[in-house]
Amino acid sequence: MAKFILLMFICYHCGLDPVFGLLSKRNVSSESLSSLNQEASEGFLWNNIRLPQSVIPLEYDIFLHPNLTEARFSGKVEIKCVIRETTNFVVLHSKDLVISQTTLTTIPSNEQKEVRMQMKNDTDQLFLIMEDAIPKDAEILITIVFDGILGINGDGFYLSEFFTSNKSSRYLASTQFEPTSARKAFPCFDEPALKANFSMSIVREKKHISLFNMPRVDSIPRKNNLVLDTFQQSVKMSTYLVAFAVGEYKGKSKLTKSGVNMTVFYDRTSLMETVDFSLDAGGTILDYFNTLFEVSYPLPNLDMIAVPYHKAAAMENWGLITYRKPYLVIPINSGYRWKYRAVSVIAHEIAHQWFGNIVTMQWWDDLWLNEGVASFMQYLGLQAFDNDWSMKNFFTEKINSMMSEDFTNSRALNQPVAVPDFSIFNGVTYAKGASIVRMVRGLLGEKAFMNGIKTYLNQNKYSNVVSDDLWQALSNSSDDGIDLKAVMSIWMGERAYPLVTVRRNHSEIQISQEPFILKNNTTSRTTPIWTIPFQYGILDQQGHFSRKMFLLREETATIKISGHFKLVKGNYRDDGYYRVNYDPESWKAITDQLMTNHEIFSPGERAHLLNDAVSIFARTKPLNMSVVMDLLNYMEKETDFLPWFSASHSFGILIKLRLKDIKPEVKVLMQKFATVATKALELIENQLQAKENNKGYKDAMKEYMVNLIRRINSRVSDSSPSTLRPSTDKFTQKMD
């Protein structure tokens, strides 16, 4: 079987279309094939990679018969459309499918139009050309019969292989359509804004089950030990969210408090109890989001299926989320860190049921509205499941994103996307997007922010949006009438981020901004001026912080502060997406306070004090190394994850820039990292021996610290950039 699939795959990708096997089954004529490939001799009625808006899909009715043994499928799709502009042609998408029959009829007259097909392979566009134009507001029904190959590359409608306990192989056919692979499974209008309702019928073997976005309504026996399953019609959604699966699977279900039937499906090699943890997490998080957003999850079901091979960690298909197996099938003895990672992925995908599914970006330019917002919301879901997994303790997105922007010529959050592919699913889309959302929440305040989010969801249900729609909803909820579109303009359109420098001068502080450039890898020819929500904290003589907010709209500004105070902490609460530098006296006040009581600063603040200092030190005009050394002194008392996560990345910056080779004193700094890490590890081990609360977390921190110290010690003598792997042993890894 595996050899057969490989042969088909090779034939297909070598240009030997698998039509030789399918033509005999469909009796596709040579004339119909040639009509699909006339682009060599004819022009096209449409020459844009985006589809015309003259024909809009309303409903799909899809029939599929996958043959897992022969790695192929046959199908038929009926697409009901409305004509928005008078036209004599229809353009939709099809890729790697052999089309044997196409008809187009008007509704309700049922008049069949003569159709000529034309295929534009470079854009996957299928043209249906008619002799007579169809008038505006008319409705039509397009019917297409087709065949395809079940691939093995994790894209479109594809096969995954797993093995039973006796080592015999089994196959699961499942889907991965985002961003543009629904067209590989059935001809469709494959753009996110062209939403429609979907109905599905699937023929399967009796030993298999079939799944779709919606619940099954009927199963009818057929000849040859086959069964026809039909499913409820979906809500209005984008093609990339359509999903289905066929294979030898079993499931375990629970009814959530909000009345949704949640089921985890897994292959027969797994034990039932291994899905209890993911089922519990999924139900808890779904109920929490239902309450938090005040927009009910609209489907009667939410199925989660473990797939043997998945390109991403998971995919948020509406009502049928697919996951890599380890994120759903979690043995009882799994470690703390893996459970945290699994719940992170589950929370992210369930957040997508609102951000991406109920409300979807208009086009892939605004993918961050899906991924960035869901990446932020996943932390709320994590904390809802386990209160120890709070955002203040585990928000790694900003450190990851800043390091990515420091070392790569990254894209802006809003950047035109002509041809969407997997490259747009990157650290900027996820991590920077989440960090920007967090900064906006810090600017507005939690209550106003959540009110704006609820408005955004309610106003745009089942619709498509651009970034300005989010900013408008949040602006309307602002108590201070903040124009977020104006505030966020540079943040969205420019890559990188600013450095804010704070200089204390008696009863006032002077602040200034400039782009932070660690390496000269920017292509920008201008110096952007951000509107920075500069949140700062004033520590009084009694040891209490007061929070202040200042919108820095210019390159420099002066803020007056009344009363006696010990220090000013920039980026208070660590909400802002910028680095902060200080004058020497202010740095000393901060490092002295860390030595006296480091917990007066949040874990995130402590993390970014170190990360900012090392990054600034590493620039062409460095900070004095003594500041970094002073910051490291307190860390022998540090037992929280985020500051050590930051230390790992900060150490990685020194390695990646090869500073040890350029500046001999940097080796002393590296050795300091190892010394304080070793002392912190001893403290964590003492806490474990004392049997303090939260043993799982302490065990995970011990393991993390052991690996970190090992990496530091090995790299003190080896500064090759190829050895830099700062994220290998962390709690979290970036999902796709």
The set of catalytic residues is 349
Helix (H, G, I), strand (E, B) or coil at 120: strand
Shortest CA distance to 248 belongs to which of 317, 332, 322, 305? 305
Bind-site residues:
348, 352, 371
Distance from the first to the final alpha carbon of the chain: 30
Query: CA-to-CA distance for 476 and 466, rounded, in angstroms?
Result: 16
Give the C-alpha distances (Å, rounded to integers) separating 83 from 45, 90, 253, 373: 17, 10, 43, 34
Measured in whole angstroms, the distance separating CA 377 from the mean position of its chain's CA atoms is: 11
Please tell me whether residue 62 adopts helix, strand or coil conformation. strand
Annotated binding-site residues for Zn(2+) read 348, 352, 371
* Orientation of helix 336-352 relative to helix 695-716, angle to 10°: 100
> In the structure encoding, which two tokens stand for residue 542, read together?
């009694």
Are β-strands 139-149 and 98-107 bridged in parallel, bridged antiparallel, or unpaired? antiparallel
CA distance 41 to 31: 15
Nearest-angstrom CA–CA distance, 67 and 63: 13
Strand partners, 552: 532
Distance CA 479, CA 45 (A): 52
C-alpha 147/C-alpha 18 separation (Å) is 10
- Which one-letter amino acid corresponds to residue 368? W
- State the number of CA atoms in the 13 A half-sphere of 261 facing the CB: 10
Radius of gyration of the chain (CA): 28
Which run of H or of E encompasses 537?
strand 532-540
